[in-house]
Amino acid sequence: MSSETQFDYDFLVIGAGSGGVRASRMASGLGAKVAVIEDSALGGTCVNVGCVPKKLFVYGSHFSEEFEAAEGFGWSVGNTEFHWPTLRDRKTSEIERLNGIYGNILGGAGVELINGRGVISGPNSVMVGQQQYTAKYILVAVGGWPFVPEFPGSEHVISSNEVFYLEEFPKRALVVGGGYIAVEFAGIFAGLGAQTHQAYRGPMFLRGFDDDLREFVANEMQQKGVNLHFNSDVTEIVKNADGSLKVSFNNGEQIEVDCVMYATGRRAKTQGLGLENTNVEMRANGSIVVNENYQTAEPSIYALGDVIGGIELTPVALAEGMALAHNLFGEGGRKVDYDNIPTAVFSQPNIATVGLTEAQANEKYANVDVYKSEFKHMKHTLSGLPERTLMKIIVDRDTDKVLGCHMVGSEAGEIIQGLAVAIRAGATKAIFDSTIGIHPTAAEEFVTMREPVS
């Protein structure tokens, strides 16, 4: 297809993150004339200050345990020392390489890249500086931004944006929050050698995950040296003369640290986007309201990914971008299935899950069987490390269908990814039981659990 004469483009995308890049590439491949507007590094949160650099830091933080474990296998490691600038700067080099790859991907797909801040000026127009661009369809894919509440001393904290570029690595760190990012960075700080605290205002972090996993991970993290403070909310931070920070909590407790990182959620990055010039509706938190086809109340404007406040995961944004492109410029009829989406938390040890939790299953099904196994990984029988693994299967007793699989342990994400295929295919517990395991692996435990615990 070719662009209609009254518009500069068929499809104009604001934001070159995961969802925006995927949607633009697919649309261009389907014959649309497409441009992407971006005012910062390509790749969005995931590539620049999210999934990718975080996982690199997780890898780096594991070595302290690996050095300790090596002795049990006959290796004399000797003195070790962590050099923060090396990890930080090599991470940055890798991210810059990926930025270039994203640019090449867009160029190779025939997508024009417009550098600058896009501000929507009407249902079919976007201003970048003094230049106006028009399009039949506009896609808002600007993602989110870390949210830090205001309180006395909040100017002294950092977010997940700044943590990847710290000048010095802290000797003592506090992470505030109870979601993916908070739990992951508590493990990163501790693994890299910081005396680490994590504070969460509720009784247990990782809300929405299976309760057994949440409690298991909390115990494992404390064994690894993370000081967990539940039912604790920061009330004040005071900067001392030596640059350290005195943190006061609502329960009267005080601690002193060198760095406070807030990971208390993210907000849609819609401020200053010009949506007031359209009929687009937003929620109180700034996220954009869309229908099942990602269309806003302004028929020519669409939105997807983190900015719509749904499931904020990179693969979800990719799926939404692909579906939208096909619905606008292809055969149509594409829908993203939000059931049984697998996910992982790169905590230490890792968490991975797919399907219903035990509590969710009991709400939905009359008869639920739970299979659970807790054990020490074979590696740690020689390493001497106390880390343990938890695996759990949720089954509908009436149909034998597997409703959920959950794991805490080494390489949990790699294992659950395969089980997600089985669950989406409708596997039953009998199929799990008849599957021959790969021995010796931790993963084989998922096909050898025979007796339900409840």
How many helices and strands, by DSSP H and E, does the chain display? Answer: 11, 21
Active site (annotated) includes residue 83:
no
Judge contact between 307 and 142, C-beta under 8 A.
yes
Cα 446 to Cα 51: distance, rounded to the nearest angstrom: 27
The CA-based diameter of the chain, rounded to the nearest angstrom, is 73
Cα 70 to Cα 65: distance, rounded to the nearest angstrom: 8
317: closest CA among 22, 40, 101?
22
Kindly calculate the radius of gyration of the chain based on its CA atoms and give it in whole angstroms.
Answer: 24
Query: Which one-letter amino acid corresponds to residue 413?
Result: G
Cα 164 to Cα 87: distance, rounded to the nearest angstrom: 10
Kindly give the interhelix angle for 84-108 and 18-29, rounded to the nearest 10 degrees.
Answer: 20
Half-sphere exposure of 242 (CA within 13 A, CB side): 5
Which structure tokens are listed for 248?
A: 């006061």
Catalytic residue selected from 83, 229, 380, 439: 439
Cα 125 to Cα 155: distance, rounded to the nearest angstrom: 37
164: closest CA among 53, 292, 7, 34?
53
Chain position carrying tokens 């930025």: 99
Cβ neighbours around 398 below 10 Å, total: 11
Q: What is the DSSP string of 327-353?
A: HHHSS-------TT--EEE--SS-EEE
Catalytic residues: 439
